[in-house]
Amino acid sequence: MSYLVPLPVVIPLLAAALTLVLARYPVAQRLVSITALSTTLGVAVVLLVQASREGPLVVYVGGWPAPVGIVLVADQLSALMLVVSAAVTLCVLLYSIGEGRGDGSESTPVTIYHPTYLVLTAGVTNAFLSGDLFNLFVGFEMLLAASYVLITLSGTGVRIRGGTTYVVVSLLSSLIFLSAIGLIYGATGTLNLAQLAGRLDALPAELRLVLHLMLLLAFGIKAAVFPLSAWLPDSYPTAPAPVTAVFAGLLTKVGVYAIIRTETLLFPGGQVDDLLLVVALLTMVIGILGAVAQSDIKRLLSFTLLSHIGYMIFGVALTSLAGLSGAIFYVVHHITVQTTLFLATGLVERRGGTTNLDRLGGLARVAPLLGILFLVPALNLAGIPPFSGFLGKLGLLQAGVAQGGALPWLLVIGGTLTSLLTLYATMKVWNLAFWRAPRLADPHTPAGLPPIMVGATLALVALGIGLTVVAGPLYQLSGDAAEDLRQRTPYVEAVFPVGTP
C-alpha cells in the first residue's frame, strides 16, 4: 500500500490545477473539489488502517533512496492526522459551497477559492507526511501561501489589516525555521528526519539546545503558543466563516504536530520539558482569560483556541506515554470541535446579522437547530462528560498527576481552571445569543439557513459525538502512535530498513 502515501498530496494539487482551468464553470469546480477531497479522505482511511497493522509506510519520491531523496512517511500519527484533516476540510468545503448557494450566486465563493483551498489542503497533508525537514518547510509554505489569499478574500480593509499581521508573523516564523534548517544541515549533513534522529544525538549539548530552541520557536509561532500568539485573535476572526473555521481547526495543529515530531524523534530526553510546561500553563490560563473578556463570538472562540493549544503542549511536555497519548487524542478532538464551533458561528452571523453578543438574542427560539449545533460542540470543548473533550482532558490530567512534581501539578490545577472558564465563556455565548430575549441585529435577515451549510455543520457535530462513541479505540490508537513515537525505532527502520547510514 505504499503507493498510496503520496496521493493525499498529489490529488489536491492536481485538482487545484483542474479547478483553475475550470474557473468559468463553477459547477464543475465544485464537483472536482468535492471529488478530490472525498478521495483524499478515503485514501487517508486506508493509510491509517495499513499503518496500524503493518507499521509506517514509506515512499521515496522520484525513486531516490533516503537520505538522497525526499521521503514521505505515513505512520500512525501522520495517518490519523490525515484522516481528521481530510474529514474537516471536506465538511468546510461543503459549507462554503452552501454559503455561495445561499447568497444566490453560482460564482460564490470566488473562482480562485477552490484552487487555493485545495493547495492549502495539499500543504497540510504534505506537512503531515514529510520525512524531511526541508520538505516540511515546503509544506508550511504551501499552506501559508494559500492562507494569505484565503484570509484576504473580498479585500475589505479589516481583512487586509488582519491578513497583513498574519503574513508578517508567518514570514518571521518561516525565516526562523529556514535558518534552523540551514544550521542543522551544516551541523549534521542531512535533513532526513530518520537520519537526524541519530546524528543530532552526537552533537555537543549546547549546539543541540540552540537548534532545539530554534525549531520550537518557529513551530511555537505557527502553533500560537504564549507568548507567540498575539497575532491570532486579530487575524483569524476577520476572514470569512469557512476560512476561519479551517484555519482554527487545522493550521495551528500543523504547528503542534511539528512540535510533537521535534520532541519525540529529533530531541528526545526532556531537555526543555520544564520550559514547555510553563509555556503550556501560560497558554491555557492567559488564553482563557482573554476569552472570558470578549463580547464578540469569533474573538472569544479565537482565544479559546489559543487556550486549548496549552493542553496539547502539556501532554507533549510530560514526555510520558500517558501524556503523549492524551495530547494526540486531544489534537484529534480539538480539530473537530473547534472547526464546528466556527462553522456554527458563521450560521449565527448569517441568522442574526452579527457576532457581537451585545446585539444578539433569542436565536434559540427562531432557530432551535442552530442552538443545538452550537451547544453540543460548546459543551464538548468545555469538557462536559461524557464528550470526547472530557475524556481527553481527563487523560491529560491523570498523566500530570502520575508524573508528579510541582510543575505538573500546577498544570493539573491550571487545566481544571481552564476547563471551568471555558464552560463559563461558551455558556455566556449561549445565554446572550440564544437564550435571552430576542434582539436580532437585522430584522430583515432571512429566516432560513442554507441546508448545505447546516448539513455540513451537522456532519461535524456528529463527528464530534462519534469521537466520544469510539473514544476507547481512538485512545488505544493514540497510545499505539505515542508508543511508536517514543521508541523512534519503527520510524527509523521503516525509512532505513538496512540500517541508518
Q: Is 204 exposed, middle or buried, given 0-12, 13-18 or 19+ CB atoms closer than 10 A? A: exposed
Position with higher pLDDT, 83 vs 68: 83
Angle, alpha carbons 189-194-198 (nearest 5°): 65
Nearest CA-CA partner of 1 in 57, 48, 84, 72: 57
In contact, 225 and 279? CB cutoff 8 Å: yes
Grouping H, G, I as helix, E, B as strand and the rest as coil, residue 58 is: strand
Residue 88 neighbours by CB under 8 Å, 6+ apart: 246, 249, 250, 335, 336, 339, 460
Q: Region 455-460: what's the mean pLDDT?
A: 94
Task: Check: CB of residue 101 under 8 Å from CB of residue 448.
Answer: no
Q: Distance (Å, rounded) from C-alpha 45 to C-alpha 81?
A: 10
Per-residue pLDDT band at 443 (split at 50, 70, 90): very low
Asked if pLDDT for residue 465 goes beyond 90, the answer is: yes
CA distance 323 to 398: 8
Q: What is the pLDDT of residue 436?
A: 82
Structure-block grid coordinates of residue 28: 464543475
357 contact partners, CB below 8 Å, separation of at least 6:
295, 296, 297, 428, 429, 432, 433
| Averaged pLDDT, 8-20 | 95
pLDDT tens digits, residue range 393-410? Answer: 999 999 999 998 899 999
Cell numbers that stand for 22 in this block: 475550470
Q: Model pTM?
A: 0.93
CA atoms of 254 and 76, how far apart (whole Å): 16
Neighbours of 354 (CB within 10 A): 17
SS3 296: strand
Pick the closest to residue 134 from 93, 78, 174 (CA basis): 174
State mean pLDDT over 483-488: 90
Residue 362 clears pLDDT 90, i.e. is over it: no
For residues 418 and 409, give the distance between their C-alpha atoms in angstroms, rounded to a whole number: 14
Cis amide bond preceding 109, omega within 30: yes
What are the angstrom distances between the C-alpha of 405 and each of 219, 257, 309, 318, 402?
27, 26, 22, 11, 9
pLDDT value, residue 284:
95
Which residue shows C-alpha cell 493550521? Answer: 251
- Please report the pLDDT score of residue 355 as a whole number: 87
- Greater confidence (165 vs 265) lies with 265
Hey, CA dihedral for 337, 159, 139, 39, is it positive or negative?
positive
pLDDT of 168 over the 80 cut: yes
Q: How far apart are CA 432 and CA 114, in angstroms?
A: 35
- Evaluate if residue 40 carries a pLDDT over 60: yes
Q: How confident is the model at residue 107 (pLDDT cuts 50, 70, 90)?
A: very low
3-state secondary structure of 167: helix
Q: Which residue has the higher pLDDT, 235 or 381?
A: 381
Q: What is the pLDDT of residue 3?
A: 86
d(CA 311, CA 285): 10
pLDDT at residue 105 above 60? no
Q: What is the largest CA-CA distance in the chain?
A: 70
The Cα–Cα gap between 325 and 473 comes to 12
| Res 124: pLDDT | 95
pLDDT confidence bin for 440, thresholds 50/70/90? low
Q: What is the pLDDT of residue 328?
A: 95
Whole-angstrom Cα Rg for the chain: 22
Q: What's the average model confidence in pLDDT over 319-327?
A: 92
Buried b (16+ CB within 10 A) or exposed e, 228-264: bbebbbbbbbbbbbbbbbbbbbbbbbbbbbbbbbbbb
Give pLDDT, residue 447. Answer: 53
- The pLDDT of residue 414 is above 90: yes
485: left (phi over 0), alpha (psi -120 to 50) or beta: alpha
DSSP string, 434-483: IIS----S-TTS-S---HHHHHHHHHHHHHHHHHHHTHHHHHHHHHHHHH
How many CA atoms does the CB half-sphere of 373 hold within 13 Å? 24
Q: In b/e form, how buried is each residue of 94-115, taking b as 16+ CB within 10 angstroms? A: bbbbbbbebeeeeebbebebbb
Q: Alpha helix (H) ranges present in 105-156?
A: 113-129, 133-151
**Which residue would you say has higher pLDDT here, 446 or 55?**
55
